[in-house]
């Protein structure tokens, strides 16, 4: 997608040459508009065709006084980036079936008291996200899918005073959008296409494109490291496991890296503790954490911040077979701690715990693991916010702030020591599950046992990494949150 900023000439927005002009109207008292646009807006409101209510939009063909042959009015609750993005999504959905190749977008908002333009880099980033979402079509295993929107170019209209800021926001937004798209593409692929080997190939392709250092470990290397928990999950499948290491080096080597750890279960049947058949197909998305790590590295390759980042992906399938781990089996993790497997469907924490132990070797500034870990988190938070767990106040605050800035929010969950009592075992150092109540929390408490050497946070994205129902598909979250988190550490 070609995203650009433009300061309108003497003719103003009415003279902008585009196939469509999208005017996002924030509030009921937008700043003084050019006569042609002000007249069209007033007439539409008077006729009852348009209201200043979020979600309302109006399409006008061949509007009088405009060079653009199409005008879309879209109402926003206010001038915030979030409201701007929501209104844009509504407007762009209405243009999908039309022959619009170039759209110009403008924000009409009440004048700020301090004279600062309402539009800034956050709006530009929100536009990039809205455009990418509106034009994305999964086609890899569905060649009959529609071609999607014909839209090829979007121009964001701005004032001369904020043109440079808007341009930076567009560049950042495009990089993040590219990362989100990669994450969606990986997670949308069926399990017979997106295998652990496929994820490794995606990492290697990123390395070749952007110069990342990539290392892919197989079964022998993982055995040598003593990753017994990871192997225990993988051993029921014919697909070979892959442990993937990505390194982005944008800062001096003396700068401690951030480490992102992604759960890469490319298909999760539940193992011997097999899941119900209904909606089991969605378990191809159980590598959403791994996909978000790959997507974040894609964004880093585009944006090129001055920071060091390591990505770790533990990738395998969780299937039942004669070799599969059984309920009651005890596994020895890389840390030396033994784990009683009470439920083989609680496998994500088993692959993550060995990856978290491996992360120690990088002497990280902080470690964040990302996983579609528990259905309990979906019950607690739904699909709006990812679950955030961390015993580190500052790290949690940084992640929450990154989520708000990225319009990819999280919500911090408790980690009281008392929750750890549920993981006691008579036969191992720790059980892999506790009682049903507080399941997302006890999962995080399990992971905490393997993170004593560094600052750590856990993102449970079970509710946010994909959508169900008619809109079934991957969302690419939390690539925006992770990218903003990394960018906030750049020098």
Q: Which of 85, 122, 242, 349 is catalytic?
A: 349
**Burial class, 490, CB count within 10 angstroms (exposed 0-12 / middle 13-18 / buried 19+):** middle
SS3 labels along 285-296:
HHHHHHHHHHHH
Tokens of 99: 């022959």
Q: How many residues does the chain have?
A: 491
d(Cα 348, Cα 482) in Å, to the nearest integer? 20
Residue for token digits 């296409």?
193
């033994």: which residue's tokens?
338
Q: Tell me, what DSSP letter sits at residue 257?
A: P
Burial-class residue 483 by CB neighbours within 10 Å (0-12, 13-18, 19+): buried
275 is catalytic: yes
Question: Strands across the sheet with 430-431, in order?
Answer: 330-332, 338-340, 430-431
CA distances (Å), origin 442, targets 245, 265, 362, 371, 397: 27, 20, 27, 14, 21
For the CA atoms of 75, 137, 181, 76, the dihedral, rounded to the nearest 10 degrees, stands at 0
CA distance 343 to 341: 6
Alpha-carbon span 96 to 338, nearest angstrom? 54
Catalytic residue among 139, 247, 275, 412: 275
3-state secondary structure of 266: strand
Is 53 one of the annotated active-site residues of the chain?
no
Nearest one of 230, 181, 173 to 5, comparing CA atoms:
173
For residue 267, what are the CA distances in angstroms to 155, 194, 290?
40, 9, 12
Q: What is the dihedral of CA 149, 152, 154, 155, to 10 degrees?
A: -150
Tokens of 132: 């990418």
**404 Cβ partners below 8 Å, 6+ apart?**
none
Question: Do the Cβ atoms of 26 and 109 come closer than 8 Å?
Answer: yes
Which structure tokens are listed for 446? Answer: 């399990």
> What is d(CA 21, CA 275) in angstroms, rounded to the nearest whole number?
49
Peptide bond preceding 12 in cis form (omega within 30 of 0): no
- What is the C-alpha to C-alpha distance for residues 47 and 51, in angstroms, rounded to an integer? 10
Catalytic residues: 275, 349
């Amino acid at each position: 997608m070609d995203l650009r900023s433009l300061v309108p000439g003497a003719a103003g927005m009415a003279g902008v040459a585009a196939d469509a002009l999208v005017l996002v109207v924030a509030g009921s008292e937008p700043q003084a508009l050019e006569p042609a646009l002000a007249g069209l807006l007033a007439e539409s409101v008077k006729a009852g065709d348009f209201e200043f209510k979020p979600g309302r939009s109006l399409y006008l063909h061949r509007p009088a006084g405009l060079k653009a042959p199409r005008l879309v009015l879209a109402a926003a609750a206010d001038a915030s980036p979030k409201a701007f993005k929501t209104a844009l999504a509504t407007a762009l959905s209405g243009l999908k079936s039309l022959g619009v190749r170039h759209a110009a977008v403008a924000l009409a908002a009440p004048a700020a008291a301090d004279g600062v333009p309402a539009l800034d880099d956050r709006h530009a980033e929100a536009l990039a996200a809205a455009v990418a979402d509106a034009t994305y079509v999964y086609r890899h295993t569905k060649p009959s899918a529609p071609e999607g929107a014909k839209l090829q170019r979007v121009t964001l209209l701005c004032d001369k005073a904020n043109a440079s800021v808007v341009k930076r926001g567009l560049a950042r937004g495009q990089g993040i959008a590219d990362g989100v798209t990669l994450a969606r593409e990986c997670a949308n692929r069926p399990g017979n296409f997106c295998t652990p080997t496929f994820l490794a190939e995606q990492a290697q392709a990123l390395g070749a494109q952007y110069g990342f250092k990539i290392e892919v470990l197989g079964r022998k290397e993982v055995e040598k490291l003593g990753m017994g928990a990871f192997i225990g999950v993988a051993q029921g499948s014919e697909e070979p496991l892959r442990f993937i290491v990505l390194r982005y080096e944008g800062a001096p080597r003396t700068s401690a890296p951030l480490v992102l750890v992604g759960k890469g279960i490319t298909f999760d049947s539940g193992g011997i503790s097999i899941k119900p058949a209904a909606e089991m197909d969605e378990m191809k998305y159980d590598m959403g954490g791994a996909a978000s790590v790959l997507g974040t590295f894609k964004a880093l390759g585009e944006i090129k911040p001055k920071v060091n980042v390591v990505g770790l992906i533990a990738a395998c399938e969780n299937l039942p077979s004669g070799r599969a781990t059984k309920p009651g089996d005890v596994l020895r993790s890389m840390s030396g701690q033994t784990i009683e497997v009470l439920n083989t469907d609680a496998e994500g924490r088993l692959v993550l715990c060995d990856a978290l132990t491996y992360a120690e070797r990088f002497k990280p500034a902080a470690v964040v693991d990302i996983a579609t870990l528990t259905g309990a988190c979906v019950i607690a938070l739904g699909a709006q916010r990812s679950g955030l767990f961390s015993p580190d106040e500052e790290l949690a605050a940084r992640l929450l702030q990154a989520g708000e800035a990225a319009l990819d929010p999280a919500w911090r969950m408790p980690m009281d020591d008392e929750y750890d009592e549920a993981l006691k075992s008579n036969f191992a150092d720790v059980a892999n599950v506790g009682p049903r109540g507080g399941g997302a929390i006890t999962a995080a408490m399990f992971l905490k046992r393997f993170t004593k050497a560094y600052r750590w946070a856990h993102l449970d994205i079970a509710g946010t990494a994909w959508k169900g129902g008619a809109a079934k598909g991957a969302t690419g979250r939390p690539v925006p949150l992770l990218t903003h988190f990394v960018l906030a550490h750049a020098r």
